[in-house]
């Protein structure tokens, strides 16, 4: 059975995202570089249809927009400057309940778009999710552990949304601690 593609922004049947929602998307502001990274960029301002796009991937497993996002994010990074793409994993309870990790889905599409290997380099330690926390509570970020030695590697770290940068910083510090020479961040959206 073929299911019609619907816009994750407004639900209209057709392209994902539809022309109307595309017209409402705004580029992300410049992100202050999180600790441990050499740079961090995001595609969209996390507002309006962009918020809906991310939420529907994250909470409703609506993957139709992933290809568009990965393609739109491709000018924000240089595939020849990284050895591997990875992601900031969600908490295990979310992965179990949803059946997927939205950041992994996005990272795999971004990596495929750039022709770079996508590898799980981080495991998330037990702790609370960042969702629903205010900015002050998010400031410490989640705890990660490296899955392998990364001596000399250049890593592109992908996540769905950067809010305070604490998740990216926590992940980058672990990657650098495992030997990564440089870590660059890339997100679908930035919420200031």
Lowest mean pLDDT among 4-8, 44-48, 154-158, 174-178: 4-8
The per-residue pLDDT for range 83-95, each reduced to its tens digit, is 999 999 987 776 6
Q: What is the DSSP string of the chain?
A: -PPPPB-TTT--BSSSS-HHHHHH--BPPPPPPPTT-SEEEEEEESSHHHHHHHHHHHHH---TTHHHHHHHHGGGS-GGG-SEEEE-PPPHHHHHHHSS-HHHHHHHHHHHHHT--B---EEEPS---STT--HHHHTT---EEESS--TT-EEEEEEEEESSSHHHHHHHHHHHHTT-SEEEEEEEEE--
Give the pLDDT confidence score for residue 167 in this predicted structure.
93
Checking if the pLDDT of 59 tops 70, the result is: no
Q: Answer whether 0.75 is exceeded by the pTM.
A: yes
Checking if the pLDDT of 188 tops 80, the result is: yes
The per-residue pLDDT for range 7-56, each reduced to its tens digit, is 777 777 877 788 888 899 999 999 999 999 999 999 999 998 888 888 87
Give the pLDDT confidence score for residue 1 in this predicted structure.
46
pLDDT band at 140 (very low <50, low <70, confident <90, very high): low
Every domain of the chain and the residues it spans: 26-190
CATH assignment of 26-190?
A: 3.40.50
């Amino acid at each position: 059975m073929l299911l019609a593609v619907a816009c994750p922004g407004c639900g209209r049947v057709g392209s994902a995202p539809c022309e109307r929602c595309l017209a409402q998307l705004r580029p992300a502001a410049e992100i202050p570089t999180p600790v441990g990274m050499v740079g961090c960029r995001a595609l969209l301002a996390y507002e309006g249809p962009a918020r809906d796009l991310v939420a529907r991937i994250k909470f409703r497993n609506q993957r139709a927009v992933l290809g568009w996002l990965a393609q739109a994010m491709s000018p924000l990074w240089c595939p020849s400057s990284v050895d591997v793409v990875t992601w900031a994993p969600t908490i295990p309870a979310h992965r179990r309940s949803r059946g997927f990790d939205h950041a992994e889905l996005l990272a795999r599409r971004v990596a495929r778009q750039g022709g770079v290997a996508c590898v799980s380099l981080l495991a998330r330690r037990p702790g609370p999710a960042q969702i629903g926390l205010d900015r002050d509570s998010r400031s410490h970020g989640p705890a990660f552990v490296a899955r392998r030695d990364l001596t000399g590697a250049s890593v592109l770290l992908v996540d769905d949304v950067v809010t305070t940068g604490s998740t990216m910083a926590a992940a980058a510090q672990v990657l650098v601690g495992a030997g990564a020479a440089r870590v660059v961040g890339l997100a679908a959206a930035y919420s200031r």
